[in-house]
């Protein structure tokens, strides 16, 4: 499959889907507190997407995924499955990853929270990971190559003695949840596909406090760090414009 270039009509639908996904994360802010279970967060998000936004939670039944959002706590890198048994406690870190489908198009975004009072070092991991995402986004414009984006993310993470997860990556997105190209979060400048106006894709770096190796749990979804150290992730859906980028999943606290 070739990389799809979105028409102006498709881009408008991507804007709507992206905005809805961002609004789910904003809505969840007040609920991410010690004592809540990840299943409760799932059901709050599910009801909001289905009833208020009249949209579809893309993860639900996607390749057999059983819930409507991914909730990845502490050493879980990504694709954590919400459950009533996982109750957030003081000092936990959590990534919530939301993907909505509206009018056939996808918006995909995630953010980190510290639950209650942060433990030493966690705030820094979360902040550097967000900077990795932002440094990648700032390079987006026609002519930039995917290796340029991977490189700047890897440089920033490794400068702070963190590691970049290799086994999972960003992706093209549109009518299809995961389409070409694959967007690696490591790489060499001047390599890889050249960006073109009208492409839409995610950047979603997963950055580990320890080594980059991952392990897939027996549930077939939950991905954890092999060394059980902490991992953080932030994600946006991006449009390549004539002279730069548009962050389709921007939240109101962000200024791009
Ligand atoms: N939202 C994730 C991503 O960023 C994918 C989740 S797939 C699921 O690509 F099945 F785990 F939900
Ligand atoms: Co994604
Ligand atoms: Co996602």
Tens digit of each residue's pLDDT (9 = 90 or more) over 90-105: 999 999 999 999 999 9
Neighbouring C-beta atoms of residue 190, cutoff 10 Å: 9
Contact 178, 132 (CB under 8 A): no
pLDDT reported for residue 2: 81
Which atom belonging to ligand 1 lies closest to the Cα atom of 58? 12
- Measured CA to CA in angstroms, residue 79 lies from 39, 115, 226, 229 at distances of 14, 19, 15, 17
Give nearest CA residue, ligand 1 atom 12: 59
What's the 201 CA to ligand 1 centre distance in angstroms? 14
Which residue puts its alpha carbon closest to atom 2 of ligand 1?
Answer: 97
Determine if ligand 1 sits within 6 Å of the CB of residue 135.
Answer: no
**For ligand 1, is residue 249 a contact (CB within 6 Å)?**
no
Does 92 contact ligand 1 (Cβ within 6 A)? no
- Residue 65 Cβ contacting ligand 1 at under 6 Å: yes
Ligand 1 binding pocket includes 235 (Cβ within 6 Å): yes
- CA–CA separation, 200 vs 189, rounded Å? 20
Ligand 1 atom closest to the Cα of residue 171 is: 9
CB 88 within 8 A of CB 225: no
Closest to 56 measured CA to CA, from 112, 108, 4:
108
Task: Spell out a b/e string for 153-164, using b for 16 or more CB atoms within 10 Å of the CB, else e.
Answer: bbebbeeeebbb
Q: Is the pTM of this model over 0.85?
A: yes
Longest dimension (CA), the chain: 48
- Sheet-wide strand order for 214-216: 76-78, 223-225, 214-216
**pLDDT above 70 (res 187):** yes
For the segment 14-53, what is each residue's pLDDT rounded down to a tens digit?
999 999 999 999 999 999 999 999 999 999 999 999 999 9
CB atoms within 10 A of CB 58: 23
Residue 1 — pLDDT band, cuts 50, 70, 90? low
Nearest atom within ligand 1 for CA of residue 178: 9
Q: How far is the CA of 17 from the centre of ligand 3 (A)?
A: 13
Centroid of ligand 1 to alpha carbon of 115 (angstroms) = 22
Q: How many CB atoms neighbour CB 72 within 10 A?
A: 26
Rounded-to-integer distance, Cα 211 and Cα 198, Å: 36
CB of residue 62 inside a 6 A radius of ligand 1: yes
Give the tens place of pLDDT for each residue, 189-237.
Answer: 999 999 999 999 999 999 999 999 999 999 999 999 999 999 999 999 9
Closest CA to 189 of 138, 213, 230, 155: 155
DSSP state, residue 178: S
The ligand minimizing its distance to the Cα of 42 is 1
Given ligand 1 and candidates 96, 97, 133, 185, which is best to mutate, with the most ligand atoms within 8 Å of its CB?
97
Residue 177, ligand 1, Cβ within 6 A: no
Distances (CA, A) of 73 to 83, 179, 224, 229, 248: 12, 27, 10, 11, 25
Based on its alpha-carbon atoms, the radius of gyration of the chain, rounded to whole angstroms, reads: 17
């Amino acid at each position: 499959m070739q990389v799809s270039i979105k028409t102006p009509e498709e881009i408008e639908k991507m804007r709507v889907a992206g905005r809805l996904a961002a609004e789910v994360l904003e809505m969840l802010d007040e609920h991410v507190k010690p004592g809540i279970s990840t299943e409760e967060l799932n059901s709050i998000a599910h009801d909001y997407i289905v009833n208020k936004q009249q949209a579809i939670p893309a993860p639900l039944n996607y390749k057999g995924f059983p819930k409507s959002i991914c909730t990845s706590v502490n050493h879980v890198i990504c694709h954590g499955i919400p459950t009533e048994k996982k109750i957030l406690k003081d000092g936990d870190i959590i990534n919530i990853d939301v993907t909505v489908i509206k009018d056939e198009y996808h918006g995909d975004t995630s953010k980190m929270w510290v639950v209650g009072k942060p433990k030493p070092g966690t705030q820094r991991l979360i902040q550097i990971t967000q900077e990795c995402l932002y440094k990648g986004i700032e390079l987006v414009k026609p002519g930039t190559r995917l290796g340029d984006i991977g490189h700047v993310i890897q440089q920033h993470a490794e400068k702070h003695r963190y590691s970049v997860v290799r086994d999972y990556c960003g992706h093209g997105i549109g009518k299809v949840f995961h389409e070409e190209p694959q967007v690696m979060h490591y790489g060499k400048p001047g390599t890889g596909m050249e960006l073109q106006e009208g492409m839409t894709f995610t950047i979603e770096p997963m950055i580990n406090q320890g080594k980059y190796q991952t392990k897939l749990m027996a549930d077939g979804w939950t991905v954890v760090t092999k060394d059980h150290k902490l991992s953080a992730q932030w994600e946006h859906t991006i449009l390549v414009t004539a002279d730069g980028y548009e962050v389709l999943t921007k939240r109101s606290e962000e200024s791009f």
